[in-house]
């Protein structure tokens, strides 16, 4: 999960586009011929897209963009520490 990638996705794509992309990637992962290496890459993409959606939701609720991104990363880091 990379904050610059998350911010780029959030700024340059609307929610519907991100959600549709997420659906396609999840469907692709379900196919039996997907290799472990491909799964790792897709997992990273899915994480970044989900992060972008979460940041956008915080912005939609009135949080400033920078605060939303920082709060999201704090939330991620605190969940890793548990």
Taking the chain (82 residues) in runs of 10, the rounded mean pLDDT of each run is 93 96 94 93 95 96 94 86 64
pLDDT (0 to 100) of residue 1: 84
pLDDT (0 to 100) of residue 63: 96
pTM: 0.89
User: For residues 28, 20, 15 and 53, what is the CA-based torsion angle, rounded to 10 degrees?
Assistant: -20
pLDDT (0 to 100) of residue 81: 66
């Amino acid at each position: 999960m990379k904050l610059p990638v998350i911010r780029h996705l959030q700024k340059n794509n609307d929610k519907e586009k991100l959600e549709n992309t997420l659906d396609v990637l999840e469907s692709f992962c379900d196919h039996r011929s997907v290799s472990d290496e491909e799964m790792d890459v897709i997992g990273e993409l899915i994480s970044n897209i989900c992060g972008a959606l979460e940041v956008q939701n915080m912005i939609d609720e009135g949080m400033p963009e920078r605060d939303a991104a920082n709060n999201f990363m704090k939330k991620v880091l605190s969940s890793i520490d548990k």
